[in-house]
C-alpha cells in the first residue's frame, strides 16, 4: 500500500487533500497530513478513514527523517524556504517529491543527485508557477509541431475577487500571502520587447501597465513581473523578440497602489518610530511634508498631483487610510504596517468568492505569414475556504503526484511541468474540475489588422 506524505495544511492545501483522499480510496493508498497546527490538519482531512493528521515540526530533523522514510511520495506545502531541507531528506531517503514553489538556485544543485538515484523532484506545479507553464507549453508545442516560429510571448495571471462582489472599488482582496502582495515588484523588472532588453525600476512599475480584455469578464490591467528572462530556457524561447510576464488587476488598482509606492509605504528596509501610538491617518501623514494648515488629504492630493475627488482618493478612503483608527501594532516597517492596515479590509469574508484569471498571447510566423493566438482561463471560487486559488494550486499538484505514483511520470531529476509527459494528463484532468483554457487564433495582415 503506497503512502503519500503531505507537509503543510494551510490555505492552499484544501483541494489538494480532498482530491488525494478520493484518489487514495480508489487506489488503496494512505495519506498522512502534517502541520504545526494539528487542528488545521484535522480540519483538512475531516473524517476520511484513509488519512491521518499529525503535528509536524519542519525544524525537527528526527521527525522529518521518520516521516519521509515511511512514505512513497512527499508533497510539500510548507513555506518556500523550508522546501530545500525536505528535498534533501527525500533524495537521501530515496523518495519522490512534488511542490508548487519556484526553482531556486539552491534547488538546482539537487538535480544531479536526484537523477543518480532515479528520483523525480517536481517543482513549479501549482498555479503560477504551474498551470501557466503547462498551458503555455501546450500551445507552443502545437505551434512548433505545425512549423510555426514563435516571435512573441506575453502571459499574465491574477488572483482577484469574482465579479459578484461589487462593494469593493479595488475589486481585490488577499487570496495568497499578503506580504508578497505588498512587496510585489520590488527590485528591477526585466523583459524583452521587439528584440531589445527592457527594464522598469520599481518606482515606475505601476505606471507602466497594459490593458487586457477577457471575454465575458471585461477589462483588466497588467503590470510586469520581476524577471521574465528566466523563462527563456524553461520555454525554449532563446532568440524570441518579445517575452513579457505580468500580473493582472482590475482597472484603477495600479494607479492607486502606485501612491503607496511613491510615498515609501511599501519600504521594508527600516522600522518606523512610535508605531504603538500611530493611527492610519498618521501613517500616511508621516510620509508627507509638514503643514499645520492643510489636511492629510489635501497634502497627499498635491503630492501626487491628484484632484481631491479623484478615483484614487476614493479608493484610499475606502481602505480607511485617512481614519484616526489605531494601527494596532507595536512596531513594524512601512510595508509591515501597510500590510496590517490592508488586512482589515482585504481579508476574505466567509462568503467572498475569489477568481483566478490567466491570459497568454502567442505571435508566430509560418510559411511567410504572421499569426496570433490567445488563450485564457478563468476559475471562480465558492467561498473564503473553497477558493479558486486553493483549487488551481492544489489540483495540479495532486494530479501530478498521482501520476508519479502510477508510473505515468518517470522523469528523474529536478523538473518543472514543461514537457508533454507531465502537462498533457494534468491539463486533461483539470478540465473535469472546470479549469480549462479557451483559444482563439488569427492571421495578422501586413497592415497589422487581424483577419
Per-residue pLDDT tens listing for the chain (451 residues): 899 999 999 988 999 999 999 999 999 999 999 999 999 999 999 999 999 999 999 999 999 999 999 999 999 999 988 999 999 999 999 999 999 999 988 899 999 999 999 999 999 999 989 999 999 999 999 999 999 999 999 999 999 999 976 689 999 999 888 999 999 988 889 999 999 999 999 999 999 999 999 999 999 999 999 899 989 999 999 999 999 999 999 999 999 999 999 999 999 999 999 999 999 999 999 999 999 889 999 999 999 999 999 999 999 999 999 999 999 999 999 999 999 999 999 999 999 999 999 999 999 999 999 999 999 999 999 999 899 999 999 999 999 999 999 999 989 999 999 999 999 999 999 999 999 999 999 988 764 544 3
Q: If you ran DSSP here, which 8-state letter would residue 353 be given? A: -
Q: Is the dihedral of CA 48, 51, 53, 58 positive or negative?
A: negative
Sketch out the chain's domains with CATH numbers.
3-123 (3.40.50.720), 131-251+351-387+436-444 (3.30.360.10), 257-346 (no CATH)
Pairwise CA distance, residues 71 & 96, whole Å: 9
pLDDT at position 450 is: 46
Number of C-beta neighbours around residue 188 at 10 A: 12
pLDDT at position 446 is: 62
Alpha helices in 28-162 (DSSP H): 38-45, 61-69, 83-93, 105-108, 111-116, 131-145
Pairwise CA distance, residues 257 & 28, whole Å: 50
Smallest Cα–Cα separation from 208: which of 170, 141, 261?
A: 261
Helix axes 83-93, 61-69, angle to 10 degrees: 50
Alpha helices in 28-104 (DSSP H): 38-45, 61-69, 83-93
> Is 247:156 a contact under the CB 8 Å cutoff?
yes
- How far is residue 98 CA from its own chain's centroid? 17
Pairwise CA distance, residues 58 & 54, whole Å: 12
- How far is residue 281 CA from its own chain's centroid? 31
> Is 438:445 a contact under the CB 8 Å cutoff?
no
pLDDT at position 165 is: 67
Query: Phi-psi category of 317—alpha, beta or left, where left has phi over 0 and alpha has psi -120 to 50?
Result: alpha
Q: If you ran DSSP here, which 8-state letter would residue 433 be given? A: G
Pairwise CA distance, residues 143 & 365, whole Å: 9
Strands 188-193, 196-201: parallel, antiparallel or unpaired by DSSP? antiparallel
Q: Is the dihedral of CA 21, 25, 31, 36 positive or negative?
A: positive
Smallest Cα–Cα separation from 98: which of 428, 403, 419?
A: 403
C-alpha distances out from residue 439 to 126, 151, 374, 422, Å? 21, 18, 6, 21
Q: What is the torsion angle, in degrees rounded to the nearest 10, for the CA atoms of residue 109, residue 397, residue 6 and residue 58?
A: 40
Amino acid at each position: 500500500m503506497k503512502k503519500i506524505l503531505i507537509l503543510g495544511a494551510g490555505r492552499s492545501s484544501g483541494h489538494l487533500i480532498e482530491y488525494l483522499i478520493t484518489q487514495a480510496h480508489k487506489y488503496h493508498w494512505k495519506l498522512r497530513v502534517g502541520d504545526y497546527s494539528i487542528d488545521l490538519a484535522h480540519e483538512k482531512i475531516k473524517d476520511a478513514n484513509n488519512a491521518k493528521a499529525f503535528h509536524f515540526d519542519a525544524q525537527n530533523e528526527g521527525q522529518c527523517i521518520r516521516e519521509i522514510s515511511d512514505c512513497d511520495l512527499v508533497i510539500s506545502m510548507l513555506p518556500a524556504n523550508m522546501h530545500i531541507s525536505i528535498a534533501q531528506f527525500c533524495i537521501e531517503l530515496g523518495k519522490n517529491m512534488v511542490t508548487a514553489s519556484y526553482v531556486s538556485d539552491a534547488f538546482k544543485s539537487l538535480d544531479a543527485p536526484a537523477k543518480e538515484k532515479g528520483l523525480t523532484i517536481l517543482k513549479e506545479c501549482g498555479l503560477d508557477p504551474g498551470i501557466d507553464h503547462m498551458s503555455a507549453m501546450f500551445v507552443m508545442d502545437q505551434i512548433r509541431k505545425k512549423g510555426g516560429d514563435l516571435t512573441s510571448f506575453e502571459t499574465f495571471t491574477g488572483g482577484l475577487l469574482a465579479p459578484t462582489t461589487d462593494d469593493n472599488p479595488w475589486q481585490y482582496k488577499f487570496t495568497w500571502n499578503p506580504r508578497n502582495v505588498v512587496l510585489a515588484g520590488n527590485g528591477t523588472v526585466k523583459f524583452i520587447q521587439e528584440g531589445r532588453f527592457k527594464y522598469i525600476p520599481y518606482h515606475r512599475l505601476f505606471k507602466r501597465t497594459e490593458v487586457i480584455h477577457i471575454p465575458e469578464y471585461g477589462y483588466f490591467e497588467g503590470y510586469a513581473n520581476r524577471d521574465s528572462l528566466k523563462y527563456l530556457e524553461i520555454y525554449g524561447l532563446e532568440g524570441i523578440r518579445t517575452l513579457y510576464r505580468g500580473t493582472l488587476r482590475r482597472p484603477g488598482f495600479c494607479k492607486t497602489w502606485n501612491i503607496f509606492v511613491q510615498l515609501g509605504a511599501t519600504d521594508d528596509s527600516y522600522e518606523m518610530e512610535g508605531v504603538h501610538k500611530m493611527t492610519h491617518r498618521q501613517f500616511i501623514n508621516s510620509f508627507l511634508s509638514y503643514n499645520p494648515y492643510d489636511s492629510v488629504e489635501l497634502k497627499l492630493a498635491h503630492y501626487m498631483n491628484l484632484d481631491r475627488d479623484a478615483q484614487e482618493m476614493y479608493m484610499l478612503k475606502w481602505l480607511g487610510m485617512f481614519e484616526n483608527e489605531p494601527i494596532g501594532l507595536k512596531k513594524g516597517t512601512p510595508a509591515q504596517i501597510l500590510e496590517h492596515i490592508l488586512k482589515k479590509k482585504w481579508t476574505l469574508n466567509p462568503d467572498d468568492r475569489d477568481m483566478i484569471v490567466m491570459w497568454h498571447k502567442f505571435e508566430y510566423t509560418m510559411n511567410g505569414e504572421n499569426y496570433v493566438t490567445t488563450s485564457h482561463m478563468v476559475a471562480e471560487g465558492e467561498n473564503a475556504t473553497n477558493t479558486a486559488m486553493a483549487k488551481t494550486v492544489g489540483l495540479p499538484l495532486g494530479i501530478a503526484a498521482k501520476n508519479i505514483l502510477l508510473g505515468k511520470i518517470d522523469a528523474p531529476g529536478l523538473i518543472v511541468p514543461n514537457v508533454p509527459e507531465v502537462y498533457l494528463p494534468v491539463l486533461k484532468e483539470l478540465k473535469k474540475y472546470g479549469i480549462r483554457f479557451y483559444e482563439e487564433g488569427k492571421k495578422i495582415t501586413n497592415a497589422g489588422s487581424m483577419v
